[in-house]
Structure formats: structure tokens, C-alpha cells
Amino acid sequence: MIKKLKSMFGRKKEDKPKTLAGVANKYADNYMRLLAMEKVTKTGLMVGALVVGLLTYTGNELNAGKTNDYISVLELKGDITSENKGTGYIFAGAFRDAVEDKHSKAILIHANSPGGSPVQAEMVYKMIKSYTDKPEDERQQVIVSVMDSCASACLYSIAAADKIYAHGNSLLGSIGVRMDSWNFKELSDRLGISRTTITSGTNKALMDPFMEMSDEQREQLVDKIVSPLYRNFVNAMKSARGDKLKENDPLLFSGMMWTGQEAIDIGLADGIKTSLEVEAELYESLGVDEKKYANEKSFSLASLLTSSMESALRSTMSEISLH
């Protein structure tokens, strides 16, 4: 009885091919089955991608019809460079989009950065300054909430905001410029290593770490690079903060850092408030209860599915060609 049940429900044992042709036929048959399954899978993924696209489009159309207002939140965090996401060029673009958003009623910048590139800072500064120079009744408020720190290029970037609030333990300042270079000349001499450099000008290899820098060259770097960058920084701070700055304090433009209250006293901040307090006051004064992160992509199921579909579509489309 057991043998009969096994023969009825057990897996049928396939006979092994006895000839070379039989082996070839078996593997060809398996390959065709796998190929058919792959085509079915890719077709299903393409259909799924079309469905997701339709749902995303429909969702966008529905969202476009909503009238909910909100605060636009922009994150300025990490080193301000051309590579770091959300800073410099990308941040300026997100700021521009936020000021043009008809449902945005205020712009809140969360600043938390040790500094970075003067070029990227200049880009953000000018974008904010050109906007806050407009009459207040024709634009949104631009408020900054400093988190742990806002130093150097970060302070340069946000100086033109309407209000800058700091936590009591936040650090602000470091108005200045620095240029670093290593000098391996003495070490290479001890190791008996020599370096030959051929240049088209006396200053082309000015900061070569294997060459001694003269006092004259050092003065040239200060005069031609460091000082102009420093003047631009100081002038931007004066233009943005105006008479709020305690300019008679010799430490103001010395590169010094200050905690929250001291930063207010010297003119770098306008008040002590936590980020949550700043948000709550904006909600109350503007009559809104929502915020939108303007320079960070929000998670959605559609975006997750879409990203998964893209790779499948690329694989499928790569097999389509015109002959």
C-alpha cells in the first residue's frame, strides 16, 4: 500500500539520457524553460512599472490640488562643499524652489555645519540675500535655527536671514580664512629623497610640500588669496548683519567662536530658542501645522517601487534594438 502511495504522489524519477543527443536535448529544454520564465518576469515588471507610474502621476495630480500650507525646512549640514548633498549649489536651488512655492509660508533653515568652501558659501549667501532684500510684505520670512554649530562658511551662508536663533550651547563664529599646507622638505632630505619640478613660472609650484616656502611667497599667498577671501567674508557679514554687529570688539573678525548668548551679545545671533520652539512659534504665527523638507527626498512606496523597476526596465530595454 505504501509503495502504491509513493508511486501516486512521489516525485517521478526522470530517466537519464543515454546518448549525447539526449543530453543536449535535455539541457536545451531546461534553457528554454528558464528563458520563458525570464521573459514572463520582465513583462510583469514592465507592467508593474507602468502601474506605479500611473499611480505616481495620479498622486501628484491629487497633491497639486491640495491647498494645505506649510513651513519649508531646509537642512544646511555637514561640510559645505560642492560634493556634500544639500549644500552649496544644491542648497541654493532648493531655497529658490521654496521661495517660489505658493504653499510655503516661511523658510526655516536648520544650520549645523563646521564650515567649508567660500565659493559654496557665497552661492548660498547671495541667494538668501537677494531674497531678503525684498520688502517683507512681498516675501516669506527666512529664519535660521542653529543646531550644534554654525562656523565659518556656515555663518557666511546664513548671515542674510531675517532672524538667526541659537541654542544656549550652540557654537557660532570662526569668521576668517585658513590655508593649510604640509612641508616634507626636511624629512625628504633626511631620507635622501630629492624631487625635481619643472615649472613655467616662479609661483607655479608655490605650495609644493617638498619645497621650502620663502617669506616672500608666504606674503604673496596672504596678499593674493587669504586677505581677499577674508575681506569678502567680513564685508558680507557687515552687509547682512549691519548695526547688530559689535564691530568695536577686536575678537569679532578674529576667528573666535562663541556660545549662544555670547553670540547674541556680539551680534551673530538674535535670540536663544530651541529648534522646536522656533517651529512652534512659526506654526502659531502663520496658522499652519505642517512642514515640508525642501531639500531632502521623502520616502514613499511609489519611489521605492520605481527605483526597483528602473533596473528591471534597463535590463529589458537593453535587449531591444532595431535591425
For 10-72, the DSSP string reads SPPPPPPP-SHHHHHHHHHHHHHHHHHHHHHHHHHHHHHHHHHHHHHHHHHHHHHT----EEE
pTM above 0.75, yes or no: no
Q: Does residue 149 belong to any structural domain of this protein?
A: yes
Q: Does residue 86 belong to any structural domain of this protein?
A: yes
pLDDT at 322: 39
CATH assignment of the domain containing 161: 3.90.226.10
pLDDT at 96: 94
Q: Does residue 269 belong to any structural domain of this protein?
A: yes
Q: Does residue 63 belong to any structural domain of this protein?
A: no
Collect the ranges in the chain with pLDDT lower than 50.
62-63, 65, 86, 298-308, 310-323
pLDDT at 32: 67
Separation between Cα atoms, residue 159 and residue 155, nearest integer Å:
6
Number of structural domains in the chain: 1
Question: What is the span of the domain harbouring residue 140?
Answer: 68-176+242-293
Q: Does residue 233 belong to any structural domain of this protein?
A: no
pLDDT at 192: 82
Separation between Cα atoms, residue 75 and residue 194, nearest integer Å:
48
